[in-house]
Chains A and B, each alone.
Chain A
Amino acid sequence: MVSTLAMSPQSQGLRLGPVQVYAGLILLLALSMLMSLTLGYKLYSLDQVWMALFAHDGSEVAVVIAGLRLPRALIAPLAGAALGMAGVMVQTLSRNRIASPDTLGLNAGASLAVVVASIMFGVQSLAGLSLAAAFGAFVTAIVVFGVAASAGGLSPLKIVLVGVTFASLSHAFVEVLLTSNEAQLQQLLFWLSGAFVDRPIALFYNGLPVVIVGAVIGIALARALDALQADDSTAAGLGVPLAAVRGLAFVAVALLTGAAVSMAGPVAFVGLVVPHAARRLVGLRHIHQLPAAALFGAVYATLADVAARFVIYPVEAPVGAITAVVGAIVLLVLLMRRAA
C-alpha cells in the first residue's frame, strides 16, 4: 500500500494513483455528457432527458434530445478519446511534445479527401463525406510513413517534417479547390473546422469499433512505446523491434484519427493538448497514459462541444474553433516554457 503511493510518478503536485484518476475522469465524463444533453439553445430538465432516452413518447422534446443531442453527446467523447490516444502515440513516436495528428498531416489529408469527394465526385451525404475523411487520414498516414521510411529510416524528425510538408500541401489543394468552387464553400467550411453538431448516430456506431481496434493496438504496444521514449539505441538495446513497433503504432494512429475525423471533421489540436494532461495525471507509462488520455480527451471534447453552443449564442460555433483557440494557447505556453 505504501509502495503504491511511492510508485506514483508524481513527485510534485497531485499524489493520486491511476485508479483515483480514472474514477475522477469517469465521473467528470458522465457529468459533461449530461451537460451536453441538457444545455444548449434550449435547456432541458433531467426529467425530460430521462424521458426522451428511456421512455420515448414521440414528443418534440424527446425527438430533439434523442435525435440531435444524444448523437453529439456520444460522438464528442468518442472522437475526443480517439484523438487523445492518437496524440499520445504521435508524441511518443516523434519524441516531440508539440506533435499531434495535425502535425503528421492526417487532419489535413482527411480534409483534402472530403473536399475532393464533394467537389470532384459530387458526394453530398454525410456518411459519404465521413468515409472520405477516414480514407484521407489513412492514405496520408501510409504516404507519410512510406516517404519517411524510404528517406532512410523512420527518425522522429523525419516523420514530422514529412507530415508537415504533406499538411501544407493538402491545405494548399483544399484552398485552391474551395476558391474555384464557391458554391460548396459554405457547406464545406463548417465541416472543415470540425463539429459534433448534426451528426447521425450511425457515425458513432461506425466509429466505435475502429476506435476500439486502435486502442487495443496502443495498449498492446504500451511497454514498447515506454521504451521508445528513450533514444533508438537504448530502445533497440532493450530488444524493442523499432520498425515493427513504429509501423503498428502508426496504423493505430491512422485508425484513431481517421475515426475521429470521419465523425467530427478535423477538430484541431485535441491530440496536442490531451497527452500533456494525461502525463501530468498518471506519469509516462503508456499502460496508464493511453487510458488517461482517452478519458481526458473525451471530457475535453464534450465540454468544448457544450462551450461551442454558447460562445456566440444563439448561433453555434464550430467546436474545432474552440479547440483551436485552447490548443494555440497551450502550444504557446509549451513553447515559452521550453524557451525559458
Chain B
Amino acid sequence: MADLVPSRIEVRDLTLTYGHDTVLDALNLPIPRGKVTVLAGPNGCGKSTLLRAIRRLHTGQKGQIFLDNVDIASLGAKDLARQIGLLAQNPSAPPDMTVEELVRLGRYPHQAMLQPWSEKDGVAVNRAMDGTGVTGLKTRRIGSLSGGQLQRAWIAMVLAQETDVICLDEPVNHLDMAHQLDCLDLVSKLNQEDGRTIVLVLHDLNLAARYADQLVFVHEGRVRALGQPEELMKPELLAEVFEVDAAIMTDPVHGRPICIPRGRARAAVQELA
C-alpha cells in the first residue's frame, strides 16, 4: 500500500542531539499523503522533537527530511511555511489579541514585506474561521475565550496558512473530553474533506488509535513500529514501548482498537529484554 501512495514526507536517518543527549537516533519515517499520521510514545521518546524537526524548527541535525522528494533544508523559510503548518504545543499570544488578529497571523508566509493585505488573504482568513466555527467570535479577545474556543481559534490560524501538511503538537492537552473530541473531529474533517496530510502528536493512546490512519510508536529516539492501529495495538508492543500491561479490545462504536491498562508491565519488559 505504501508503494501505491507515494509519501508526502520522508524522514531519512534523522539524528538529533541536545548537547550530549541523542534525542532522535537515525530515525526513518514515511508520512503518507492525505492521511492522518499519529506519533505516539512515552514521555521523552522524541515524538515532539520529531514533529518539530519535520517543520524544521530544530537545527544541528544529521540526516534528511524530504517533502515531495525535495530536501526541506533547501527550502526558504516562507516557502516551507506555505507547505507545512504547525500548531505548537501550548501556543501563546497576548490575551487582548482578537480572534481575527490571531487568525490573520497565518497569512504571514503568503505576504511580501510591504505587500498590502489582499482579497485572497481575506478569503483564506474567513474560510479558516468558518471551517473552525469561530467566525462569530472574531472580534472577541482571545483571553476571554474558553479552552475549546481558544484551541479552535489557533487551529484557524494554522488553517489560514493554507498548507497542505499540518502538524499539531499535542493539540488536546488541556482540553476536557468533549473538546478533545471536538478538536480531533475537526482535524479529521480537514483530512477527509480537503485531503490534507495531518501529522499529530498525541498522548492518549486510545485517541491515537481512533483517529490515526497510520500510527507510529516512537521509542528511545527511533520508530519502534508503524502501521494501522489494529497492527500496533498489541499487548506485547504496548508493554515494550509504554511499559503497560494492557488488554486490547475493539471499540464497539468505531471498530477501532482500544487499550485498557491493567498496570505497569515491569515483568513484561524484563521478559522481552
Contact = CB atoms under 8 A, between A and B. Distances in A.
Given A11-B141, A237-B57, A237-B86, A230 B80 contact: no
Contacts of B101: 9, 226, 283-285
Contacts of B114: 219-220
A227 interface: yes
Interface in B92-110: 92-94, 96-98, 100-102, 104-106, 108-109
A239 interface: yes
Contacts of A227: 105, 108
B197 to A, nearest CB: 16
Contacts of A219: 114
A279 interface: yes
Contact of A229 (B89, B94, B100, B161): B94
B113 A284 contact: no
Nearest to B115: A223
Interface in A1-34: 3, 6-11
B17 interface: no
Interface string B215-241: 000000000000000000000000000
A238 B81 contact: yes
A241 B77 CA distance: 7
A237 B165 CA distance: 12
Given A11-B140, A237-B57, A231 B92 contact: yes
Name, among B85, B91, B108, the residue most crowded by chain A CB atoms within 10 Å (CB to CB).
Answer: B108
Nearest to B140: A11
A236 B97 CA distance: 19
Interface residues of B, number: 40
Contacts of A220: 113-114
A9 B97 CA distance: 8
A8 B101 CA distance: 10
A135 B32 CA distance: 57
Contacts of A239: 76-82, 108-109
Contacts of A124: none
Given A220-B114, A226-B105, A284 B77 contact: no
B52 interface: yes
Contact of A279 (B82, B96, B100): B96
A237 B88 contact: yes
Contacts of B90: 231
Given A223-B111, A230-B93, A238 B105 contact: yes
Given A234-B88, A238-B106, A229 B96 contact: no
A230 B90 CA distance: 11
Contacts of B141: 11
Given A238-B81, A239-B80, A283-B101, A233 B57 contact: yes
Interface string B50-82: 001001010000000000000000001111111
B139 interface: yes
Contacts of B96: 279, 284
Contacts of A229: 93-94, 97
A119 interface: no
Nearest to B144: A11
Interface in A220-249: 220, 223-224, 226-227, 229-231, 233-234, 236-241
A288 to B, nearest CB: 11
Contact of B100 (A9, A230, A231, A240): A9
Contact of B91 (A6, A234, A284): A234
A284 B108 contact: no
Contact of B81 (A6, A10, A224, A237): A237
A127 B96 CA distance: 42
Contacts of A230: 91-93, 102, 105
Interface string B156-190: 01000100000000000000000000000000000
A231 B141 CA distance: 17
A31 B63 CA distance: 64
A284 B102 CA distance: 10
Interface in B40-57: 52, 55, 57
Interface in A180-228: 219-220, 223-224, 226-227
> Which among B79, B85, B88, B157 has the greatest number of chain A C-beta atoms within 10 A?
B88
Interface of B: 52, 55, 57, 76-82, 85-86, 88-94, 96-98, 100-102, 104-106, 108-109, 111, 113-114, 122, 138-141, 157, 161
Given A231-B93, A239-B82, A284-B98, 11 more contacts: A226-B101, A227-B108, A230-B91, A231-B91, A233-B91, A234-B92, A238-B108, A239-B81, A239-B108, A240-B108, A283-B101
Interface of A: 3, 6-11, 95, 97, 219-220, 223-224, 226-227, 229-231, 233-234, 236-241, 279, 283-285
19 contacts: A9-B98, A11-B139, A219-B114, A223-B113, A224-B108, A230-B91, A233-B52, A233-B57, A233-B91, A234-B92, A234-B93, A234-B105, A237-B55, A238-B108, A239-B81, A240-B77, A283-B98, A283-B101, A284-B94
